[in-house]
Structure formats: C-alpha cells, structure tokens
C-alpha cells in the first residue's frame, strides 16, 4: 500500500516531506514487533501513527488499546495497566485484569508516557524486557505478548536529567523513533487542513464552506500554530459558526489567532536551571564578600594617609571613610585628603594599620566547612550529637564529613 492510500485510509492531510517520512517509517516498522516511540508537539496528530502500525501489522486482528497515562491517577495507574487481586487495596472488591493482560497478542498505545510514575516505569521496563508482570497484590508472574507504542510531547532527555524518567526505559522504548513534525515546519499543508476542516464543518452545520483571501492565506501560513493541527481545526470551527460572511480576509482571521505577532519572534529555549545554593553556602559567600571589601577599604585608607599631609588623626580619617563607604562612595573628598599630614604622632599608628591588613582568605567552602566542624566539636568537647545539632546537620552527615576531612 502506497503512502497516498494510507493517508486516505487514516484521514491524514498533507504532502510535507517530513510528514511522508514519518508515515513511511511507521509502515516499515509495522511488520516487526519492535517498540516504537513517537515524539512531537501537542496537537500534531501523534495518535494516528499507532493505529497505522497496528493495522499494518500481523497483530491487526488482536486488541488495540490506547491509554492516556496523564489522565489516570497515580494511585490507580498500576491497577489499570497490570490489574489487581481482590482485596489488594481499599475498594478492590473483585479481581481485575489490566490492559497488558487484555491486550495479549495485540497492541498497547501509551500516550503521554512521560507522565508515568517512576514506580510504574520499573514495572513497564520489566514487561518490555521479559514480557512478564504481576498484578497488584499478587506474587504470581503473568506472561503477555504485547506490542508497545509510546508517545510524548515532552523532551525525555530533559526529564531524565531531572530524575523524572528512567534512562533505561527511554532506551528500551526508543528502539524505533518517529518524529511527527510541527505544523510550522509543514507550511504547505496548513491551507489544505483549513480547507478540509471548513468543508467538514460546512457539511456538519449545513452552511456554505469558508473561503480565504490571498492575504488571509499568508497570515494562515506564517502563524506559529502552537496548538498545531488541533488548533487549526478549533479555529476553523469557530469561524464557520460565528462569521456570516464566508469569505475570510486577513483582518478577520487575525481576530481568531491569539498573540498573532508571536510568529515573528524567535523560538525561546529553556534556560538550564540554576544550581541550588544552600543557606550555609550563601552565608559564606556574603561573609567572604564583606571581608574582601574591608580589606580593600583598609588599603585605600592606608594609601590615602601615606600620600596626605596633615595632622588629622587616623581615627578621624577612618571615620570619614567609613561614612563615605556606608553611603556608597569608595573615596574621600579631595579637600579632606589635602588636609591630612603624616606626623610623628600618627606615623606609628599608620604602620600598625598597615600591618593589620588581612591576608586574602581562601574562598574554599570545604575549608570553611571543615573549620566550622572543628570549632563545633571543640565547643562540645567532641560530642558529635551536640556538634551536629549546632551545625544544623544530621549526625550521619557529620560522621561522613569528619571522615572526609580526616578530622581527629
């Protein structure tokens, strides 16, 4: 069967090369039992491809069950997929078969696969690897022969990095990937879809079909379509019902397109989440920054006193500088500087001030953490429980840190 015949059979509209490629892969993989992962944005029509795979396979006479994983509550998803025994949980008044048992010899389509809880992902992985599973509340192993096709509009690599999806399950599902293109990547198909939906709604509501002017066609093709095919169908139905004039121009069409200017904007990518900083690390950073500023402040004072020429005391000068520093100024007014002189009376004080400069501290958090642990242990005479409480950490963490820093 050629691609055109498949499109007619399954109601697929479009001639895009990307769309044709996705259909071709589905047809080729249908004759095998390989697991398929279908990816694509919401509204692109991913649900059609599992039907193609099932109907073109040797399993076409078996059950085909489509499961929306995001629509089933987390507490009942295991029971739905794998079944349960009577009395296995509150409300389980009788034993029940799950989808994997019912669909034996057929195909299961798991839509929104990224919404599966991690515990269920473990169960699914076992089914994919060995064809075995156990009902909820049972220890009996059941064998099943089911072909699994999964779909998601989520970036699974990002979900894996966040710990929300198992990497081993991803590799097992992604045996054959099929990428369904978004509508903005198949612009030549947008007007065909609009025309098909307009004809369908005209027949449904017994009214003349919509017609687009040339400028309206350009607006249609250049719009971003975040909702893809589903959004085109929805907007076509709205216009069909509301507009009495069935010839639709660009201005009229724009009234039905939310955020119409968004199609001219660049695609935004998610930034990487900022690394988590604990309160203790944040406090260390603030203290280090304050000490660094004080060191710089002392150097400024010392240099100013050496270059000046008045009998003004060092304490007065320091007071002036601190005042300016607190107000956001890191300098002393010129007229003050010119009045400062170094005299035998303040020479010794200046030298002492120079020698009091603090050497640049280490900014290593590990060193500061080690220092705080040692001080806490000294404070409580080596009592680790009290020291851990003082530091705001568990005893187990404290033991690990003591071993890590080799603290006696």
Give the domain ranges of the chain: 3-181, 185-264, 279-355, 365-405
Q: 17-29 burial, b for 16+ CB within 10 Å, e for fewer?
A: eebbebbebbbeb
Beta strand pairing call for 147-152 and 36-39: parallel
Compute the distance between CA of residue 58 and CA of residue 278 in angstroms, rounded to an integer.
57
pTM of the model: 0.64
For residues 82-87, average pLDDT: 94
352-382 pLDDT tens trace: 544 444 444 444 667 778 888 888 888 888 8
Position 361 scores a pLDDT of 46
Residues 6+ apart with CB under 8 A from 151: 37, 38, 39, 40, 46, 47, 49, 50, 109, 110, 111, 112, 113
CA distances from 21 to 27, 99, 147, 362 (A): 10, 31, 22, 59
For residues 190-212, average pLDDT: 96
CATH topology of domain 365-405: Arc Repressor Mutant, subunit A (1.10.10)
**Domain 185-264 is in which class?**
mainly alpha
111-157 pLDDT tens trace: 999 999 999 999 999 999 999 999 999 999 999 999 999 999 999 99
Compute the distance between CA of residue 139 and CA of residue 289 in angstroms, rounded to an integer.
60
For residues 242-246, average pLDDT: 95
Which of 287 and 35 is assigned the larger pLDDT? 35
Compute the distance between CA of residue 298 and CA of residue 103 in angstroms, rounded to an integer.
79
Residue at token pair 């030298």: 351
10-62 pLDDT tens trace: 999 999 999 999 999 999 999 999 999 999 999 999 999 999 999 999 999 99
291-344 pLDDT tens trace: 777 777 777 666 666 665 544 455 555 555 555 545 444 444 444 444 444 444
Position 120 scores a pLDDT of 96
- Summary mean pLDDT of the chain: 83
Residue at token pair 């250049």: 222
Compute the distance between CA of residue 55 and CA of residue 30 in angstroms, rounded to an integer.
8
222-232 pLDDT tens trace: 999 999 999 99
Q: Give the whole-number percent of the chain exceeding pLDDT 90.
A: 60
CATH topology of domain 3-181: Rossmann fold (3.40.50)
CA distances from 233 to 88, 219, 238, 265 (A): 44, 16, 9, 24
User: What is the distance between the terminal CA atoms of the chain, rounded to a whole angstrom?
Assistant: 78
Position 130 scores a pLDDT of 96
């Amino acid at each position: 069967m050629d691609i055109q015949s498949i499109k007619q059979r399954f109601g697929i509209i479009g001639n895009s090369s990307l769309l044709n490629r996705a259909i071709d892969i589905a047809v080729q993989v249908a004759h095998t039992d390989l697991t398929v992962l279908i990816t694509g944005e919401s509204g692109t029509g991913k649900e059609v491809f599992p039907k193609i795979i099932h109907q073109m396979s040797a399993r076409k006479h078996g059950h085909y069950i489509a499961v929306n994983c995001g629509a089933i509550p987390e507490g009942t998803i295991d029971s739905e997929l794998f079944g349960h025994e009577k009395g296995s949980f509150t409300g389980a008044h009788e034993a029940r078969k799950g989808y994997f048992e019912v669909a034996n010899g057929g195909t299961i389509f798991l839509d929104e696969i990224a919404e599966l809880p991690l515990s269920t992902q473990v169960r699914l992985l076992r089914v994919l690897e060995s064809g075995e599973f156990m009902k909820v509340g049972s220890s009996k192993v059941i064998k099943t022969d089911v072909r699994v096709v999964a779909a998601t509009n989520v970036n699974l690599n990002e979900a894996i990095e966040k710990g929300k999806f198992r990497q081993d399950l991803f590799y097992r599902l992604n045996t054959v990937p099929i990428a369904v293109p978004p509508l903005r990547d198949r612009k030549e198909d947008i007007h065909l879809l609009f025309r098909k939906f307009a004809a369908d709604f005209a027949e449904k509501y017994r009214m003349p079909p919509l017609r687009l002017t040339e400028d309206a066609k350009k607006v249609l093709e250049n719009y971003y379509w975040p909702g893809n095919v589903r959004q085109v169908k929805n907007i076509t139905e709205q216009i069909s019902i509301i507009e009495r004039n069935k010839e639709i121009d660009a201005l009229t069409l724009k009234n039905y397109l939310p955020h119409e200017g968004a199609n001219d904007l660049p695609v935004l990518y998610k930034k990487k989440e900022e690394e988590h900083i604990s309160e203790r690390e944040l406090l260390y950073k603030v203290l280090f920054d304050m000490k660094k500023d004080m060191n710089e402040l002392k150097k400024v004072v010392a240099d100013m006193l050496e270059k000046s020429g008045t009998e003004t005391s060092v304490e007065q000068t320091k007071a002036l500088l601190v005042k300016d520093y607190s107000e956001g100024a890191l300098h002393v007014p010129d007229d003050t500087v010119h009045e400062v002189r170094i005299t035998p009376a303040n020479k010794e004080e200046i030298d002492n001030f120079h020698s009091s400069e603090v050497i640049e501290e280490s900014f290593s958090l590990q060193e500061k953490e080690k220092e705080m642990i040692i001080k806490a242990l000294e404070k409580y005479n080596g009592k680790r429980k009290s020291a851990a409480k003082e530091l705001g950490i568990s005893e187990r963490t404290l033991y690990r840190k003591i071993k890590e820093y080799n603290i006696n």
